[in-house]
Structure 1
């Protein structure tokens, strides 16, 4: 799968780890920055990754900042994005199965490397269930289009 990834300076090191992990799993990963750990602003990278996912160029995105909250809020401002911030695998799995999330976010100050890998795996392995959940995702789209 093609995956877009981005972070801020706080998430930079964990982004490098997750990027390597995704590549080990056989995914094609494109890094949208930053490319060094110098201070930067998370909305820049939340927007970059979100626009790539919303355009259809990438079916999935992963974002990392200190908590995952700010960067996910930024991504969710882009139409068509359903970004979720998770600090454990169960919510990541259900977010894909029930909400058809297309961006996963987490915080480098909240989760360590091993837990981050578990969250990523749970999210990537899950599939949208459709059915009653499709109606709800469509309701979210309707709100977005108002």
Structure 2
């Protein structure tokens, strides 16, 4: 499975830990994030992740910024992307089960590293339930 990951300056530490964790599990990682804590503009690092998911070059994406909001808003501008801003593993599970989220947006300044690793594992271990949820996801336009 290929995972595309992007981050701004607030998410550098978490990105490196997530990549290390996912590589140990055998995932292929595409890293678009900045590797320094120098201030950057998050859209420059989020659009490539969303494009990978949109164009099926990656199975899923992970995006990280300070609040998770800017990254999430940016990713959701892409067709077919369902990015979910999550702050605990319960929200992550619901985003996958009910919304078929394909990108996980992480708020680095509002989560702890161990919590983030649990969120990432939950994201990849949880399956979309389909059924009545599929009908709802179908009502999300892929373009406007």
TM interval, short-chain normalised: over 0.9
TM, length-normalised to structure 1: 0.94
| Matching of residues 50-65 of structure 1 within 5 Å | 50-65=50-65
Residue 24 of structure 1: CA displacement?
Answer: 1.4
Determine whether 1:13 maps to 2:13.
yes
Q: Give the equivalent residue in structure 2 for 1:90.
A: 90
Which deviations, in whole Å up to 9, do the C-alpha atoms of 1:43-84 show, x marking residues without a partner? 111211001110001010000000111101100011111000
Q: Distance in 1 between matches of 2:143 and 2:4?
A: 25
Q: Give the equivalent residue in structure 2 for 1:45.
A: 45
Q: Distance in 1 between matches of 2:108 and 2:62?
A: 13
Determine whether 1:111 maps to 2:105.
no
Q: Give the equivalent residue in structure 1 for 2:68.
A: 68
Gaps of 5+ in 2: none
Residue 33 of structure 1: CA displacement?
Answer: 2.1
Q: Distance in 1 between matches of 2:70 and 2:46?
A: 8
Gaps of 5+ in 1: none
- CA RMSD after TM alignment: 1.0
TM, length-normalised to structure 2: 0.96
Q: Give the equivalent residue in structure 1 for 2:143.
A: 145
Residue 9 of structure 1: CA displacement?
Answer: 0.7
Residue 27 of structure 1: CA displacement?
Answer: 1.0
Residue 112 of structure 1: CA displacement?
Answer: 1.2
Q: Distance in 2 between matches of 1:22 and 1:83?
A: 19
Residue 134 of structure 1: CA displacement?
Answer: 0.8
Q: Distance in 2 between matches of 1:10 and 1:145?
A: 30
Give secondary structure in 1 for the equivalent of 2:50. helix
Q: Give the equivalent residue in structure 2 for 1:121.
A: 121
